[in-house]
Amino acid sequence: MKHVKLMDRLTQYMDAGFPILYLNTFEEKLAMELLQKAAHNAGRVRLIQWDMTQGYSEYSLRKKEYLIPPMNCEFTELTGRMEMKEFNSSLFVIKDISSLLDNPAAVAFLKELSIRISIDIESNIVLLSSVVKIPKELENFVTIVEMDYQTEEEIQETIQRFCEEQETTISRQLLNEMAVNFKGLTESEIISILSLALSNDGDLSRKDMSLIFEQKQQKIRKSGILEMIPLKENLEDIGGLEVLKNWLKKKAVVMKDLGKAEKFGVDAPKGVLIAGVPGCGKSLSAKAAADLFQVPLLRMDMGRLMGKYVGESEENLRKAIALAEAISPCVLWVDELEKAFAGIGGIGGGAEVTTRLFGNFLTWMQEKEAPVFVVATANDITKLPPELLRKGRFDEIYYVGLPKDEERRHIFEIHIKKRRPNDLKLIDLSRLVKETNGYSGADIESVVKDSIETAFVNQKSAVTTEDILASIKQTHSLSEIMKEPIEQMKKIYEQNKFKNASK
Ligand code: ADP
């Protein structure tokens, strides 16, 4: 049977008398099967259910029949009618908790029952929902339980079973590759994508991989906390940052053969923090790392993580981590880390949540076992709490500064080659380099783009050094705009002895 681990966990929670379990899932039918078995194992005799459409019902877990078949009834009507002790030895399942959030009588009832469960009633309440919304009054009684993601082997079985049912076949190799690509999706999501792929052209083939990617990308985006980024950039697209690139290459060898590396005594890579001047290749490095490791890239949006209900932000972080672990090996890119963790240690509701969230993130960084390689990027490290910068959280912290001469030459080369490969040999890169001291990589890219557009508009057949120089004259470099803060930052990095990403 699948989800044995989850069922055992539920049984344990029930046995231990946890008052409210919040089961967070879209898969209601499967969840109900697991709950019934777990409740039976924990010695519960009755399943009491309430939801908006079916109303109230009581079901005997021993005789497997209804004691009271579903009947229409408001939640509060029910709670006023029964004595607390009548709920003994029961599992109480509520499916539409969001409809009860603004109902003080319902919340008060659940609170009272929770207190009684903590004292003398052998029962449990399960809130079954696809979104986590916990009334503040119940917060202390609630334990959130997440459905397990399918393992790679389970996904393989799901695909095989699907093929048998649909009377179609799939090669062993494709099956294995598909299973890897499906990681992080639930069984019903996998089946719906397989059905779509099959209905497209009547069989499952390698062509369907892009469909799987797109569908998975959408599903993950809908979950609202992680985004799956298509891999377009690689190490060759980064000009300069040689030290960082070499370091990533070393980690790639380990990531690609993690089992063997660990047996040899190598620590599993945790991740890297890349901080420094905006527009100088930090995000580019996160993307290139995933390409180099040949694993998916997930971007965590810290802004969206922060929820408005109690416990929602922590739950979102937990979910994001669970999803990243299910998809692992992968790169988890935490973009603009300083924005997420600004206000740590402050006073007030928002700051407290951030502090807790931060603590959870650190603990995970410290203890994580799944091969999730974290690439955190930050523009302004002065806002980051010092705990994050301590050794052991990240494998390394790199500082990215404005590109030096040789690096700017390389960046020009990359961007000219991308758009006008034939013009490159006629361009005097040394002159461009001389005129762009203080320009960021993004500045250089925009200069190149701009000069190519102008050349096109002027109906020229090629882009020349002069065209690009003209564009440079019209551009204000980053260091012109942000001279002070950049110098300030550089000092802090040097004081903290961060490694320079460039030679
Ligand atoms: P940030 O450091 O703010 O994360 P990005 O990596 O997003 O900056 O850079 C923005 C864009 O500028 C990139 O997509 C790329 O086109 C260009 N760029 C920045 N740095 C480099 C670099 N070192 N080499 C090549 N292109 C670069």
Q: Does 184 sit in the ligand 1 pocket, CB within 6 Å?
A: no
Ligand 1 atom 15 nearest Cα: 442
Q: At residue 37, does pLDDT exceed 60?
A: yes
Distance 418 CA to ligand 1 centre (A): 14
CA distance 444 to 446: 5
Tell me the pLDDT band of 309, cut-offs 50, 70 and 90. Answer: low
What does the block give as tokens for 219? 């599903």
Tell me the pLDDT band of 182, cut-offs 50, 70 and 90. Answer: very high
- pLDDT tens-digit readout, 22-34: 998 877 888 999 9
Read off the amino acid at residue 290: A
Distance 281 CA to ligand 1 centre (A): 4
* Closest ligand 1 atom to Cα of 278: 3
Distance 468 CA to ligand 1 centre (A): 19
Tell me the pLDDT band of 307, cut-offs 50, 70 and 90. Answer: low
- pLDDT tens-digit readout, 378-394: 988 777 777 777 767 89
Tell me the pLDDT band of 235, cut-offs 50, 70 and 90. Answer: very high
Question: What residues have CB less than 8 Å from 210, skipping those under 6 apart?
Answer: none
Burial 390-423 (b: 16+ CB within 10 A, else e): eeebbbbbbbbbbbeeebbbbbbebbbeeebeeb
- Whether the CB-CB separation of 71 and 56 falls below 8 Å is answered with yes
Tell me the pLDDT band of 40, cut-offs 50, 70 and 90. Answer: very high
Q: Does 443 sit in the ligand 1 pocket, CB within 6 Å?
A: no
Distance 242 CA to ligand 1 centre (A): 14
Three-state DSSP at 41 gives helix
Tell me the pLDDT band of 290, cut-offs 50, 70 and 90. Answer: very high
Distance 372 CA to ligand 1 centre (A): 24
- The verdict on pTM exceeding 0.85 is no
Distance 284 CA to ligand 1 centre (A): 6
Q: Does 279 sit in the ligand 1 pocket, CB within 6 Å?
A: yes
Greater pLDDT, 314 or 345: 314
Ligand 1 atom 8 nearest Cα: 279
Distance 370 CA to ligand 1 centre (A): 29
Tell me the pLDDT band of 420, cut-offs 50, 70 and 90. Answer: very high
Burial status of residue 465 (CB atoms within 10 A of its CB: 0-12, 13-18, 19 or more) = middle
Distance 445 CA to ligand 1 centre (A): 8
Q: At residue 262, does pLDDT exceed 70?
A: yes
Ligand 1 atom 17 nearest Cα: 442
pLDDT at res. 344: 61
Burial status of residue 461 (CB atoms within 10 A of its CB: 0-12, 13-18, 19 or more) = exposed
- Whether the CB-CB separation of 336 and 377 falls below 8 Å is answered with yes
pLDDT at res. 81: 67
Question: What residues have CB less than 8 Å from 495, skipping those under 6 apart?
Answer: none
Q: Does 414 sit in the ligand 1 pocket, CB within 6 Å?
A: yes
Q: At residue 347, does pLDDT exceed 70?
A: no
For range 81-96, the mean pLDDT: 83
**372: β partners:** 330
Pocket residue to mutate for ligand 1, from 284, 336, 400, 448, most atoms within 8 A of Cβ: 284
For range 242-258, the mean pLDDT: 95
CA distance 187 to 175: 15
H or E, element range at 457: helix 441-457
Pocket residue to mutate for ligand 1, from 445, 448, 500, 503, most atoms within 8 A of Cβ: 445
Distance 237 CA to ligand 1 centre (A): 9
Q: Does 283 sit in the ligand 1 pocket, CB within 6 Å?
A: yes
> Which has the closest alpha carbon to 92: 22, 28, 154, 30?
22
Sheet order of strands, 297-300 included: 226-229, 297-300, 330-334, 372-378, 271-276, 396-400, 499-500
* Closest ligand 1 atom to Cα of 241: 23
CA distance 196 to 492: 53
What does the block give as tokens for 329? 């090996």
User: Considering only 44-48, 147-151, 277-281, which range has the smallest mean pLDDT?
Assistant: 147-151
- Whether the CB-CB separation of 332 and 345 falls below 8 Å is answered with no
User: Considering only 9-23, 357-371, 426-440, 459-473, which range has the smallest mean pLDDT?
Assistant: 357-371
Q: Does 275 sit in the ligand 1 pocket, CB within 6 Å?
A: no
Sheet order of strands, 142-146 included: 65-71, 55-60, 46-51, 90-94, 124-129, 20-24, 142-146
Q: At residue 38, does pLDDT exceed 70?
A: yes
Distance 206 CA to ligand 1 centre (A): 33
pLDDT at res. 491: 84
What does the block give as tokens for 181? 């690509």
Q: At residue 78, does pLDDT exceed 80?
A: no
What does DSSP assign to residue 106? Answer: H
Tell me the pLDDT band of 311, cut-offs 50, 70 and 90. Answer: low
Q: At residue 249, does pLDDT exceed 70?
A: yes
Ligand 1 atom 18 nearest Cα: 441
CA distance 425 to 445: 18
pLDDT at res. 237: 97
Question: What residues have CB less than 8 Å from 164, skipping those under 6 apart?
Answer: none
Tell me the pLDDT band of 457, cut-offs 50, 70 and 90. Answer: very high
Distance 303 CA to ligand 1 centre (A): 22
Ligand 1 atom 11 nearest Cα: 442
Pocket residue to mutate for ligand 1, from 231, 235, 272, 280, most atoms within 8 A of Cβ: 280
Ligand 1 atom 27 nearest Cα: 441
Q: Does 441 sit in the ligand 1 pocket, CB within 6 Å?
A: yes
Distance 100 CA to ligand 1 centre (A): 49
Q: At residue 100, does pLDDT exceed 90?
A: no
Distance 410 CA to ligand 1 centre (A): 12
Distance 340 CA to ligand 1 centre (A): 21
Q: At residue 231, does pLDDT exceed 70?
A: yes
> Which has the closest alpha carbon to 501: 236, 235, 285, 242?
242
